[in-house]
């Protein structure tokens, strides 16, 4: 386990069988260190979300071993999951509130996070009056208040239009460059997977196993040029090929 020394997130031969007997994950091994951004692609129902639930502690794995630094964990879901009766400001303060951080500090952190996701001026709005993209940014800001060392993303931008999704990808990468957290990001999109990550994992159909792993050896910041470069296209082809195999 020398390779995982200093890693914030270590999956070692992790398996997960649900109480009803469904085998969701089998023999999953990988690590994510601070400053790494790992994306996971795979067929629907392959247990990608289960992976994050295990990492966060919402579920407990049934075999293997799992080490996560859960003191400061960020978790962004498919939906923004905001409290509809709270304003943007109060929603962003929620996690600090649950961690009993004092009100002055809470407010300060929320202001800073809201500023980081470019929502300054919308503090007093209720989620009802925000677009889908803005809600996701409130959700991001909420996690940022804990200054996460591990940041989990469960297909956060799947429901958004492409332009909004690409802009939010850039925002997350900016945050990543700034905070150097250990990122684990689930997605359906090969392009999103490559654009965002330092490493792409491809999973098989249920029970989910990691069947391929690709390094993405390109630096940050990334931009449109990267998205349309030959190297990007080539890597997309390889990941796509592996993903096709996973469906077989």
CA 245 to chain centroid, in Å, comes to 24
Alpha helix (H) ranges present in 4-157?
48-56, 88-98, 103-116, 132-144
Tokens of 209: 């196993």
Helix (H, G, I), strand (E, B) or coil at 24: strand
Q: Which is nearer to other proteins, 138 or 242 (CB)?
A: 138
- Min dist. Cβ of residue 35 to other proteins (A): 17
CB 67 within 8 A of CB 125: no
Whole-angstrom Cα distance, residue 78 to residue 89?
Answer: 21
Could you say which of 12, 23, 123, 171 contacts other proteins (CB under 8 A)?
171
Is residue 121 a contact point for other proteins (CB under 8 A)? yes
Shortest CB 2 distance to other proteins, Å: 31
Phi, psi (deg, nearest 5) at residue 215: -80, 145
Peptide bond into 82 cis (omega under 30): no
Nearest-angstrom CA–CA distance, 227 and 136: 23
Q: How far is the CB of 237 from other proteins (least distance, A)?
A: 30
CB of 212 to other proteins, least distance (A): 30
226 binds other proteins (CB under 8 A): no
Q: In what order do the strands lie in the sheet with 9-17?
A: 23-32, 9-17, 63-68
Position 122 contacts other proteins (CB under 8 A): yes
Size of the site for other proteins (CB under 8 A): 44
Interface positions, 52-111, toward other proteins (CB under 8 A): 56-58, 73, 75, 77-79, 81, 83-86, 94-95, 97-99
Out of 23, 69, 123, 170, name the contact with other proteins by CB under 8 A.
170
Which parts of this chain interact with other proteins (CB under 8 A)? 56-58, 73, 75, 77-79, 81, 83-86, 94-95, 97-99, 115-119, 121-122, 125-129, 131-134, 137, 163-164, 167-168, 170-171, 174-175, 178
């Amino acid at each position: 386990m020398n390779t995982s020394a200093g890693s914030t997130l270590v999956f070692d031969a992790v398996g997960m069988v649900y109480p009803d007997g469904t085998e969701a994950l089998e023999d999953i091994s990988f690590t994510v260190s601070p400053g790494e951004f790992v994306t996971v692609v795979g067929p629907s129902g392959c247990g990608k979300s289960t992976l994050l639930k295990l990492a966060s502690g919402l579920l407990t794995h049934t075999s293997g071993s799992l080490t996560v630094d859960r003191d400061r964990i960020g978790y962004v879901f498919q939906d923004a999951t905001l409290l509809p009766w709270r304003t943007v400001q109060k929603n962003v303060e929620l996690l600090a509130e649950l961690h009993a951080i004092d009100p002055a500090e809470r407010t300060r952190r929320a202001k800073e996070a809201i500023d980081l996701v470019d929502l300054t001026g919308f503090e007093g709005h209720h989620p009802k009056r925000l677009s889908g993209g803005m809600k996701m940014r409130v959700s991001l800001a909420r996690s940022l208040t804990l200054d996460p060392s591990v940041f989990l993303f469960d297909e956060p931008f799947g429901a958004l239009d492409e332009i909004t999704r690409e802009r939010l990808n850039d925002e997350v990468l900016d945050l990543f460059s700034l905070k150097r957290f250990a990122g684990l990001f689930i997605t359906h999109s090969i392009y999103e997977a490559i654009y965002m990550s330092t490493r792409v994992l491809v999973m098989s159909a249920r029970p989910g196993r990691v069947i391929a792993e690709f390094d993405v050896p390109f630096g940050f910041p990334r931009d449109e040029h990267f998205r349309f470069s030959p190297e990007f296209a080539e890597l997309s082809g390889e990941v796509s090929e592996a993903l096709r195999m996973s469906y077989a």
